[in-house]
Amino acid sequence: MNNLRGFLIGSFALLLALQLAAVSSVSAQDIDREAERQRVSAVVDSKGNPEEFRQEMSNYLSEMEGVLVRFQKFPAVSSQFGKDGLDPIAALRHARTNLADSSVEDLVKMRAVYAKFPGWRDAPRSLNSIVERLEQNRKTAGKSGGGGIDNVITPDACPDLSGTPSFADIAITEGFLIAAEAVMEGFPTDGLTILARLIPIAARAALQASLLAENTLRSQYDDCHGLSSTDVQGIVDGAKTEIVNNDNSNRDTFLNSLSSSTTSINNNVTNSKNEVINNDNSNKTMITTAITNAQTSINNTSTGNTTTITTAITNAQNTIVNNDNSNKTMIVNNDNSNALTLNTNLTNAKNMIIANDNTNTTNIVNNDNTNRTLIINNDNSNTTALNDLILRSQIEADLATESNSVKVGWYMTPTANGGKLDLVQQIVTLTLSNIVAAGGSIGNAQMFLDRANADKAAGNFKSAYDNYRKAYKAAVN
């Protein structure tokens, strides 16, 4: 089951790494890569000559050594390796020596495992492509600044983004590392000598060192250009306040202008209506006066026709007055209708603007709340990681104490009973594996580790913790 799980994880990791590495490839490169994979497939075939696999693995280790040599030319990387006490290049050279001394039987078993992961051979090529791009971009940056790469790249320098590993570069390397760990899980637990097992351990350590180099260069850039959560929150709060204040100011200005325009329009409509009515009344008075004067003149001129003329004039007068009154009513009604329509349109526009303003305010506040939640969640995640690191450091400190010293009950209690014995087992096992991978000696630590695991399985957790202590101290001394 472990072999199947390792095969699936490794296959997925290799597929992810190769897909990311192929983003900038051209057709000719794809053809070359396919031809190379077919060649490697023939080398790891069970019917092939084991000595061809020995040579292929030796070439792989040499190419990975070349990758690490190029990475160590970056002062920040070589400084980080020195701080951590790492020498992965020495481990690779030691692994090549072990490979030369490995038996044909071990080679056949190793070849069968590597045959399940056909993309393992692409790692040096992909990593060389990454480091070559970083070298070129940093050399270009050095020339523009008046110096070469040795004068520009220092452990605390601030590189350009083009000379920094991208997240895709780091993902590619992580994919190859996961595949290498799957290869480790694919090896049989027995039947393979320690000498042969150290070879894939060194290959995995080389990928771990490459990933550390990329993360170191990335951290170098992030330390120069990154923002803290406090800075981000300050930027978000300031932007929100400025947007809200500006939005409120624009709203008040528009509403004041709208109110002023409404008052001016209403006044103009009222004045126009009064002018029409006054002019109409003036015309009516003038016409009435003229008719009266004409009537008087006619009466004085022709008494006989007085009644007829008077009636005609009166009728004409009434017709004119009635028509004038009708026109006045129509004008007033039309004026009132226009004023009502205008007021309605202005009210609707005002309501629409206020509603849109409220919606924008809500969206801004919601976006600010979302950003604040993301910042808090990220801070909580960092706190959890720090707590885990502190706990592991405290456990390693207790493992380094004398065997007859007082034990911490929480550490030696089984995990099923609320203790951390499983974590202790993981720490000791990983410590031994890392020391061996780095080319160090662990003495008789493996013997104590086996005893501790047996005691743990038998339920003798106090004795198990004692042996874990012995294994840890034997390995690090």
Q: How far is CA 162 from CA 76, 86, 138, 165, in A?
A: 16, 27, 8, 8
Distance CA 156, CA 68 (A): 20
Q: Which of 179, 43, 197 is nearest to 123 (CA)?
A: 179
**177 sits in which H/E element:** helix 167-186
* 169-215: pLDDT as tens digits: 999 999 999 999 999 888 887 778 998 899 999 999 999 999 999 99
* 313-338: pLDDT as tens digits: 378 678 857 877 887 888 578 878 87
Distance CA 300, CA 311 (A): 16
Residue 225 CB partners (closer than 8 Å, separation 6+): 158, 161
Distance CA 45, CA 37 (A): 12
Residue 208, SS3 per DSSP: helix
Q: Which of 413, 436, 259 is nearest to 346 (CA)?
A: 259
Distance CA 455, CA 463 (A): 6
What is the secondary structure of 103-138 as a DSSP string? -HHHHHHHHHHHTT-TTGGGHHHHHHHHHHHHHHHH
Residue 164 CB partners (closer than 8 Å, separation 6+): 134, 217, 218, 220, 221
What is the secondary structure of 285-345 as a DSSP string? HHHHHHHHHHHHHHHHH-STTHHHHHHHHHHHHHHHHHHHHHHHHHHHHHHHHHHHHHHHH
Instruction: Show the beta-strand stretches assigned E in 145-260.
Output: none
The pLDDT of residue 317:
75
* 161-182: pLDDT as tens digits: 777 899 999 999 999 999 999 9
| pTM of the shown model | 0.44
Residue 188, SS3 per DSSP: coil
- Burial of 256 (C-beta count, 10 Å sphere; 0-12/13-18/19+): exposed
- Burial of 121 (C-beta count, 10 Å sphere; 0-12/13-18/19+): buried
Residue 328 CB partners (closer than 8 Å, separation 6+): 276, 277, 280
Q: How far is CA 376 from CA 241, 362, 367, 370, in A?
A: 20, 21, 14, 10
Q: Across the 477 residues of the chain, what is the mean pLDDT of every consecutive 10-residue run?
A: 49 49 49 84 93 96 96 93 91 95 94 90 94 86 51 54 86 93 86 88 95 93 68 61 68 60 58 66 67 53 54 70 81 78 77 79 81 77 77 90 85 93 97 95 96 96 95 93
CB 410 within 8 A of CB 419: yes
Residue 88 carries which side chain, given as an amino acid letter?
A: P
